[in-house]
Chain A
Amino acid sequence: AQRVTQPEKLLSVFKGAPVELKCNYSYSGSPELFWYVQYSRQRLQLLLRHISRESIKGFTADLNKGETSFHLKKPFAQEEDSAMYYCALSLTGNQFYFGTGTSLTVIP
């Protein structure tokens, strides 16, 4: 069963426009959610995690348990934000469940 859903495979926005990458998960308990990012020719790396309630590179993500969502947002997209983004869910074990990814392109 798909535990993490990222409905958009591709997303294009203009520089300076707001961007939102959607993520929904399937889990009735208390999940730990993450966003990972992979820039061109770089390794996959952690962008942010919900438990830290942090803002990284201008990105934020809020866990909405009612909607089972963890959407990634940035008010003003930059060209360097172009990358592949993965939402990931960690449950009580040590496994992570990744979504299928969203490729973000920021148009100059």
Chain B
Amino acid sequence: DVKVTQSSRYLVKRTGEKVFLECVQDMDHENMFWYRQDPGLGLRLIYFSYDVKMKEKGDIPEGYSVSREKKERFSLILESASTNQTSMYLCASSLNRGTSSIPAAYEQYFGPGTRLTVT
């Protein structure tokens, strides 16, 4: 059973603070993703990584950075938190296309989410 865990379920930070959100997966997946989930806007991709030390910008990378030093861990960093970054943050992982010959293997597995409030 795939397990994607996130370091906190709820987090409250002040404007200007540096915030770290951690995500760990135990299925040896190559790909990892960070989304934010907002009512009416759905899931928007912030960053993703397809290998250790590799990262790609998603649709809304501004104000965020990421770090992937180990395959199982993908961190999202808010360098200077702002109130408009109050949101639910979801981490996900998946196999990389080409890893398996089974097309159905490429679903994304999600963590429970971190609800971040910036005051």
Residues of A within 8 A of B (CB): 6, 9, 32, 34, 43-46, 49, 51-52, 86, 88, 90, 92-96, 98-101
Contact = CB atoms under 8 A, between A and B. Distances in A.
A52 B97 CA distance: 17
A49 B107 contact: yes
B78 to A, nearest CB: 21
Interface in B91-117: 92, 94, 96-97, 103-104, 106-108, 110-113
Given A44-B90, A94-B97, A52 B43 contact: no
B107 A46 contact: yes
Contact of A43 (B33, B42, B111): B111
Contacts of B92: 44
B27 interface: no
A52 B104 contact: yes
Contacts, number: 50
A95 B45 CA distance: 9
28 contacts: A6-B42, A9-B40, A32-B106, A34-B107, A43-B112, A44-B43, A44-B90, A45-B110, A46-B107, A46-B108, A49-B104, A51-B103, A90-B106, A92-B97, A94-B31, A94-B48, A94-B50, A94-B97, A94-B106, A95-B58, A96-B33, A96-B45, A96-B108, A98-B35, A98-B43, A99-B42, A100-B41, A101-B42
Contacts of B96: 94
A44 B112 CA distance: 8
Interface size band for B: 20 to 34
Interface of B: 31, 33, 35, 40-45, 48, 50, 58, 90, 92, 94, 96-97, 103-104, 106-108, 110-113
Contacts of A90: 106
